[in-house]
């Protein structure tokens, strides 16, 4: 189950690989390399948007139910929101496609299913432990919303180019 556990670190890994693709563009016309790049880029976009928003929303939801906020909470919210903003800014430079976005979203939905079927979902504030079903629904909806936001930001940026 290891591939399904580190959600935000995995999103950061995909984004780092996308940056490497931008800095060191693959040479040649191999369809495998092209598709791998597009899928990694799409994973970077949808995962970074999802987990950037998810972590922030969960921390805020916990605080609204009485979980105390501390400096780590604010640091986590700032860094996770930065993930989401950063990837939407870089999406314009990435090689992406509709199919790669759909595959990346399928991965997110599989990851959500693994998280909430086997109880390996990310940390939740103690005040949200009795709201796991609501968090689960929010998580699935956020996966689909990440597809929409990522796709729109990519398409909008391409129209301007």
Answer for the pair 132, 146: CB distance below 8 angstroms, yes or no: no
Indicate if the pLDDT at residue 157 is higher than 80: no
pTM equals 0.94
Indicate if the pLDDT at residue 161 is higher than 70: no
Vertex 131 angle, CA 128 and 134, to 5°: 125
- pLDDT, residue 13, reads 96
> Could you give the 3-state DSSP secondary structure of residue 130?
helix
- pLDDT, residue 56, reads 97
Residues 43-58 have pLDDT tens digits of 999 999 999 999 999 9
Residues 107-150 have pLDDT tens digits of 999 999 999 999 999 999 999 999 999 999 999 999 999 999 99
Residues 6-25 have pLDDT tens digits of 899 999 999 999 999 999 99
Residues 22-48 have pLDDT tens digits of 999 988 889 999 999 999 999 999 999
**Could you say which DSSP state residue 126 is in?**
G
Helix spans in the chain (H):
7-23, 31-64, 71-90, 98-118, 132-160
Arithmetic mean of pLDDT over the chain: 94
């Amino acid at each position: 189950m290891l591939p399904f556990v580190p959600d935000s670190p995995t999103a950061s890994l995909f984004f780092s690989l996308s940056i490497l693709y931008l800095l060191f563009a693959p040479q040649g016309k191999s369809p495998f390399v092209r598709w791998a790049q597009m899928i990694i880029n799409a994973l970077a976009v949808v995962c970074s948007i999802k987990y950037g928003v998810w972590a922030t929303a969960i921390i805020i939801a916990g605080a609204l139910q009485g979980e105390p906020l501390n400096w780590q909470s604010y640091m986590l919210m700032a860094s996770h929101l930065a993930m989401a903003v950063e990837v939407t800014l870089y999406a314009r430079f990435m090689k992406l496609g509709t199919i790669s976005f759909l595959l990346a979203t399928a991965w997110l939905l599989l990851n959500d299913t693994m998280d909430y079927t086997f109880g390996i979902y990310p940390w939740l504030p103690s005040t949200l432990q009795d709201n796991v079903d609501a968090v689960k629904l929010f998580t699935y909806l956020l996966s689909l919303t990440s597809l929409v936001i990522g796709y729109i930001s990519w398409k909008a940026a391409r129209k301007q180019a």
